[in-house]
Amino acid sequence: MGYEIERFISEISDNLICKLCHKVYDNPKSLTSCDHIFCFSCIEKIVINENCCPLDHTLIESSCIEEAPPFILDYLSVMKIKCDFSEHGCRESVPLNRLLLHRLNCEFHPERKIKCTNCEVDVEKYRLSDHNCINLLKNKIDFLSDQINDLKNYYNNELSSLRCRLEN
């Protein structure tokens, strides 16, 4: 499935639209048998299930799927697209080849974690307003006291083995 046309700032040439999903190519592949280009996710199922090009019914097999021509890839890679999280408030548009990186670091990512100023635990941004600081702090205390116990055990063992060595 391609990218929604509305997400792009500039006008989209017909050369960049997948004839199966009618969206802008995502990971475009071309068929060596007929030179038609589709999103990989769109053509993948068809090759497996029907064995022929959906536009001209040329016979195809999985070895017929090739990387789309470089001019298509180059063209796509610099097209500016709105961030996936524009509904969450991100106003950024980035070239398609930087979308993945931007999405990972986008401060509007709904699952991005930020530090709560009360309990100082990292929580998902969307849960910040309704999370329970006390519960998180209890968990943290449990975790830390487990660690303290482990350390105590470790040093007790060390200590007794030292004592043993001293006595002998």
Per CB under 5 A, residues contacting Zn ion are 2, 18, 20-21, 34, 36, 39, 42, 53, 55-56, 83, 85, 90, 92, 106, 116, 118-119, 133
What ranges in 55-94 are assigned the alpha helix state H?
A: 70-77
Nearer to Zn ion, 99 or 164 (CB): 99
CB of 112 to Zn ion, least distance (A): 10
Nearer to Zn ion, 3 or 152 (CB): 3
Nearer to Zn ion, 47 or 90 (CB): 90
What ranges in 4-96 are assigned the alpha helix state H?
A: 40-49, 70-77
CB of 19 to Zn ion, least distance (A): 8
**Residue 114 near residue 129, CB atoms below 8 Å:** no
CB of 28 to Zn ion, least distance (A): 8
SS3 115: strand
**Residue 65 near residue 80, CB atoms below 8 Å:** no
Instruction: Report DSSP letters for 129-161, one per residue.
Output: TT--HHHHHHHHHHHHHHHHHHHHHHHHHHHHH
Nearer to Zn ion, 39 or 47 (CB): 39
Residues pairing with 80 in the sheet? 95
CB of 2 to Zn ion, least distance (A): 4
